[in-house]
Structure 1
Amino acid sequence: MAGRILVVDGAPTNRITMKVRLSSACYEVATAASGQEALRMARLIHPQIVLIGANLPDIGGPALCAALRALPQGGDMPVLVLARGDDRVAALSAGASALIDPNGDELTLLARIRGLMRHEALALPDSAPGLAEPGAAFQHDCRPRAVFVADQPATALGWRHALQNRVDFAIAVSEPERTLADAAAGRVAELYLIAADIRQPGDGLRLLSELRSRPHSRDAGFVVALRPERAEMMPVALDLGAGDVLPWDLAGAGFAAEAGLRLQAQLARKHEADRRRNETRRNMHWAMTDPLTGLHNRRFALPRLSELAFAAQDSHRDLAVLLLDLDRFKQVNDSHGHPAGDAVLAEVASRLASALPEDGLLARIGGEEFLAVLPDCPARAARRVAEDMRRAVMAAPVRLPPGGAAEELGITVSVGVAVGHAGGGQAPDPEALLASADRALLAAKSAGRNRIVIAPQMIAA
């Protein structure tokens, strides 16, 4: 199933018709005939989207929207409300994510649902933490910033004049070329209002697609302004990534208040998505980081080693693996206490990192064991790096926390090194590299510690 949707409508025919339409699009659909039933169902099934229709016997659409928002899981839940007249502004004020047009077509509704589902998915980062580039902030106004792009500057200025006292963000007017140039340079807005047709039919939608594909601007909020005779383009705009579609005459006295609320809602959705994305990225970072040393942990390091092995295959370069183990570390804990042991681990990690080449990977993979992976590093170069790291550890005594049996302690490290080469069109085997480096490390320990042992042969695929 593509997603779970709760349909709320007082008319049985409407509920059945909507359930058939959404089920045919592979959504999992539940229905409710009243506001109270809808609240009970929302607590029970945790829908991804709620559609509120008309004819509810116990509560109006705006009031039900506010009640849904008050649920523990309701703050982030998209709610679409079918509303007419004054109820439209009331629904938006109550927290509706979007409005359902009573005369709207099925394609538009499905496109809006797809957009909301996509918005939920895009709140997650695309890859490992820290790889996404944050957009650069504007410098002169501390409020969020929106950019309006229309067919003529006068049109966009009219939109700004009608809305600037109704919204809590700054508004700038721009042209398509300048908007793209600013986005490429990292000068992005948090919200874009773009006319569907600027100089040519549909070129505003092409601008939307371009901005959605740029790394700096892809996470902005987007709204499209559409002329009445181009209503068939609404599903296209929503599928291209617009969060909402407003009528061209949005500056009209009868619609400006609703337009302001809908733009403000899109900005709020963008901020919520940013918050969730940052929280997920932060959680991913901590899940892959050793809290004591700040280095990567085993969970991150071993999959990354496999990736580097495949990269070595593509470049036909050597890949070196170093296992480093602190000598007689158990005596540190037994004689000086665990706080002293933690201080030693943190300081050794810092010294190892300072001696690591820029493209190397360093991780703590055990109690006192560290892993270093060196791309494009033949055996002789790996030996030099291992020696640099060994010397860095023993260069000076480590200061211990006050109150212990000693103020400082000399520490040494033993190192096992294995080097693999991509041969026969296959990547070096990461497990074989680790096993070979581990045997070399044991040999270094057996030979007296504080030394480096190179595995006796290259580890091929």
Structure 2
Amino acid sequence: MRETILIADPDAASRLILRSRLSEAHYQPLMACDGSACLQLAVSARPALIVIDARLGGLPNATALLHQLRSEALTAGLPLLLLCEPQDQAARLAGLEAGADDVIPRSPDLSVLLARIRNLLRRGQPTSLLAEAWGLEQPALSGFAEQLAGFQHMSSIGGSIGVIAASSETAHAWRHHIPAGLRLQAHVQTPGNGAGPPRLHDVYLICAARDDSGEEPGSGFRLMSQLASGQASRDSLCALILAQPDATVVALAYDLGADDVLAADISGAELALRLTNMLRRKAQRDGDQQRIREGLKLALIDPLTGAWNRRYAMPRLTSLCSEARRTGQPLAVLVLDIDRFKQVNDIHGHAAGDLVLTEVVQRLSATLRAGDLLARIGGEEFLIALPGTGAREASSVAERLRRLISDRPFELGEEGPDRAPGRLDLTISMGLRISTGQDDALVLTEAADGALRESKRAGRNLVTLCQSHG
């Protein structure tokens, strides 16, 4: 499916030219002749990116349109490109301050335009793919309340900037070129000086311009790739500084992952805005990644008890089985069930049942080791895996867990007005299977579950060891 790009341009001829170029590049262009139409299409068509011409008049005009798109939850995260005359510095600064991801010359070189579009679209792919996979609107996944709060004046943006150039003189010159009004720390480093990888920063300014040392842009590209592949620095943003940013080099920089490309003669005011926007994007990206990590974790955890769920437990058990085969170490698997748990819900209510389940997990977790697996795999059914544990030790652990439940009543709290706190005696039944070294996760679980059923038939509150057959 082709990605949709919305073009907001008051000039019909310009719109048609840009539509033709984007269609040839296999995008689906949409066109708007004024700000109002652009806003409507941005919400209804949900384009992947919006290209706005600075000449856009009416209400809203181009600058106001950028502000409004950034203030609406459904459009705040869209990549926004502003087109303006190269010599119109006021329009460039106004567009960057209003929230444009980049400002490029009107009638741009096609290779640069398409490379920048690809570059900006790649930036939003992880979040949009997860949103689609989870059936969510992207703002619901990404938490746009935090993003909107983060779109503040540049004087309140803070961060760390690494300035890297072939010579310390060049690096220090660029450090002093950064306006003092920004709340940031700028540090200088020269590559290839035996100091190891660059220290970690939010944004790197990499001077890839030829200077007295004879540095070529390619060295900046290599350093950018090094940063992108580093475990610590791969989430940082990089901007390349080019002395003569010709179209071929600029397009290559964007396709290699540069977050921005700066001309060596950039003004201090524009540099401040571009650095501010990169720091803002870095904060947004960090927030998105943290929310994604939390969301993925929640997808694998039982929300009531805090134990792992079946979605996590079975792949983890498969991994433990592989490790047991590789090392020759034993692996014990227990499946346990709370006896007569349905009566707890029927007599005391589901709130009491939830309390019991939560405390069962707390009691079991307090006894298990850090490397053991505890998961809730059914309503009142749990799976425990004990790596490196043979039959005798596993039987001892299982008996200790059984007594943890049976020897101390569960406190249910006040059951009603003028009533004493409810106390409930419970037991668990368990099935235990020791891996032969060849069993897979499903075989172990089914065998332990069969042993659990034997415990139930024998009167409950028991541990039954499933004997290996072969």
User: Common fold, TM-score beyond 0.5?
Assistant: yes
Assess, with a 3 A threshold, how the Cα gap between structure 1 residues 28 and 316 changes in structure 2: closer, same or farther: farther
Counterpart residue identity of residue 366, structure 1: G
Residue of structure 2 in register with 1:131 after alignment: none
The residue number in structure 2 matching 1:242 is 258
Q: Does 1:155 align with 2:170?
A: yes
Alignment match, 1:79: 80
Query: What are the superposed Cα offsets for residues 16-57 of structure 1, whole Å, 9 maximum, x if unpaired?
Result: 332333233332322223322222211211112101135545
Return the match for 1:352 from 358, 361, 364.
364
- Name 2:232's counterpart in structure 1: 216
Aligned equivalent of 1:203, options 219, 230, 234: 219
Equivalent residue letter for 1:6: L
Residue 453 of structure 1 corresponds to: 464
- Counterpart in the other structure of 1:167: 182
Aligned equivalent of 2:294: 282
Aligned-partner Cα distance in 2 for 1:391–1:44: 61
User: What's 2:123 paired with?
Assistant: 119
Q: Report the TM-score when normalising by structure 2.
A: 0.81
Distance 2:159 2:106 in 1: 32
In structure 2, the partner of 1:139 is none
In the alignment, structure 1 residue 442 sits paired with structure 2 residue 453: yes
Provide the rounded CA distance (Å) in 2 between the counterparts of 1:54 and 1:10: 9
Q: What is the rounded CA distance, in whole Å, between the counterparts of 1:106 and 1:87 in structure 2?
A: 21
- Corresponding residue number in structure 1 for 2:152: none
1:22 aligns to what? Answer: 22
Contact 1:318 1:376 in 2 (8 A): yes
Aligned to 2:140: none
DSSP-derived class of the 1:294 partner:
coil
| Greater Cα offset, 303-312 or 94-103 | 303-312
- For residue 121 of structure 2, what is the amino acid of its counterpart? M
Task: Answer yes or no: is 1:31 the counterpart of 2:18.
Answer: no
Deviation at 1:13, TM superposition (A): 3.6
What's the CA shift for 1:154?
2.6
Q: Describe the SS at the equivalent of 2:124.
A: helix
Q: Does the 8 Å contact 2:158/2:279 carry over to 1? A: no
Match of 1:327 among 329, 339, 353: 339
- Hey, what's the Cα distance between the residues in 1 that align with 2:57 and 2:197? 51
- Please give the secondary structure, in 2, of the residue aligned with 1:241: coil
* 3-state DSSP of counterpart to 2:161: strand
Root mean square deviation, CA, Å:
3.2
Q: Report the alpha carbon displacement of residue 220 of structure 1 after superposing the two structures with TM.
A: 1.5
Deviation at 1:5, TM superposition (A): 1.3
Deviation, 1:410, is 4.3
Task: Choose the corresponding residue for 1:92, options 96, 99, 107.
Answer: 96
Greater mean deviation of Cα atoms: 1-10 or 310-319? 310-319
Deviation at 1:91, TM superposition (A): 0.7
**CA contact under 8 A between 1:224 and 1:244: conserved in structure 2?**
yes
Corresponding residue for 2:241?
225
The 2-side partners of 1:8 and 1:124 are apart by: 23
2:284 is the alignment partner of 1:272:
yes
- Is the alpha carbon distance of 1:299 and 1:322 closer, same or farther for their aligned partners in structure 2, counting shifts above 3 Å? same
Counterpart residue number, 1:133: none
Contact 2:410 2:424 in 1 (8 A): yes
Give the match's secondary structure for 2:301: coil
In the alignment, structure 1 residue 372 sits paired with structure 2 residue 384: yes
Displacement of 1:229? 6.0
CA 1:124–1:54: 2 relative to 1, 3 Å: closer
SS at match of 2:447: helix
SS of 1:291 mapped into structure 2: coil
Residue of structure 1 aligned with 2:303, choices 285, 288, 291: 291
Equivalents in 2 of 1:124, 1:176: separation in Å?
Answer: 36
Identity of aligned residues (%): 38
C-alpha distance in 2, partners of 1:312/1:216?
32
Q: What is the CA distance between 1:441 and its match in structure 2?
A: 0.6
8 Å CA contact 1:317–1:421 kept in 2: the answer is: no
The whole-number CA distance in structure 1 between the counterparts of 2:242 and 2:420 is: 76
Name the CA distance, whole Å, in 1 between partners of 2:192 and 2:363: 49
Q: How many residues align?
A: 434
Gaps of 5+ in 1: 127-141
Deviations 1:394-421 (A, max 9, x none): 4544444356655654443211123445
Q: For 2:192 and 2:374, how far apart are their aligned partners in 1?
A: 44
Equivalents in 1 of 2:162, 2:176: separation in Å?
13
Corresponding residue SS for 1:96: coil
- 1-side partners of 2:53 and 2:334: how far apart? 64
Partner of 2:135: none
* 2:154 equivalent in structure 1: none
Shift in Å, 1:343: 3.2
Alpha-carbon distance between aligned partners in 1 of 2:231 and 2:129, rounded to the nearest angstrom: 12
